[in-house]
Amino acid sequence: MAVKRLMIAGAAIAFAAFAPAQDDAGARYWLLSGGGEIVGTPVKETTTEVFVDIGPKIVGIPRDSIVKETSAAEAAESEDAVVTGVAADAGEGRMLSQTEMVERAKQSVVLISNPRGAGSGFVLDTEGRVVTNHHVIRNEKYHTVNIFRKRGSQWERVKLEDAEVEAYSPLYDIAILRLPMDQVRAEGLELVPMPVAAPGDLEVGDPVFAIGNPGMGGRLLEHSVSQGIASSLARNFGDIVYIQTTAAVNPGNSGGPLVDSRGRVVGLVTLKAIFQEGIAFALPSSLIHHFLNTSESFAYSEQAGNKGFRYLPPEE
């Protein structure tokens, strides 16, 4: 059964794709003005507020904060419904702890290696697209991508060879790799996409997590997680605005996701202050979305090596 992820007050709840004939047919979905989402059963309504049973408790929703209301069944099937967070098991029907959120997010984080070195990335969709930094894949055509698969209490590394560059931007320092789907299917891998947060969903002071594969000497510390806060949303380097975070990052974290407490990618870890601790920078989700939505303009070109399609600047 398909599972969507909906949010309430920064915490995640999972719900199955409801069928109208089921007992949950009375469940409703509300999209709120601040980007939050609630699924539950309405129990009382006043002129100013709707009271909703979400399972653990009853919450009140101010009417002036409601952007959209529909049935949970329609929301589960609608392309307009925001799919956020990392999916819980079907039928789990409970809020996830912060630890569980991170554990599920780690299913999407990959290790990328090539003759230049190693970096991180995250699975974007089930079609095999992976997002990383351009400087991780620069000047190399094929890359090895390691997917981490949970086996009991242990993580197993599955190596996929010859992932190809699909698009990239040196300016934004972002790139898309395409996994070899024949190998993915042969290994029986389930690709777990990580959703990219909508622009404006992150605020200064919000907790964030950097998940990646930093190095220590000649050793990779796979699947390392560091926690911090968003220190600033407006640090300008080369006319690109970055998120500043206190989450610890090091070489090898490049291309990994900066994740919020709802399991969404709010930034792409890109820069670290040299000889400083607690100062790192991530490309914000707004620019990630811009790149993804216009990726054909950043396409890789077989004829031009790792140079993509580019237009000459207009003559002055």
Contact between 106 and 92 (Cβ < 8 Å) = no
Q: What is the DSSP letter of 297?
A: G
Residue 156 CA to residue 147 CA, distance in Å, equals 8
Euclidean distance between CA atoms 8 and 30, whole angstroms: 10
Q: How far apart are CA 181 and CA 206, in angstroms?
A: 36
Of 120, 134, 135, 231, which one is the catalytic site residue? 135
Residue 291, phi then psi, degrees to nearest 5: -65, -45
Catalytic residue among 108, 169, 254, 286: 254
3-state helix, strand, coil in the chain (%, to 5): 15, 45, 40
* Residue 20: other Cβ atoms inside 10 A: 11
8 Å CB contact between 147 and 158: yes
The yes-or-no answer on residue 173 being catalytic is yes
Say whether 113 is catalytic: no
Is 135 among the catalytic positions?
Answer: yes
Give the CA-trace dihedral at 195, 281, 146, 106, to 10 degrees: -50
- Quickly list DSSP for 222-249: TTEEEEEEEEEEEEEETTEEEEEE-S--
Choice among 108, 173, 224, 261 that is catalytic: 173
41: Cβ contacts below 8 Å, ≥ 6 apart: 26, 27, 28, 52, 53
3-state secondary structure of 45: strand
Which residues contact residue 185 at a Cβ distance below 8 angstroms, ignoring those fewer than 6 apart? none
Bridge-partner residues for 228, per DSSP? 208
Nearest residue to 109 (alpha-carbon basis) of 221, 238, 256: 256
Q: CB neighbours (10 Å) of residue 116?
A: 13
Residues labelled catalytic:
135, 173, 254
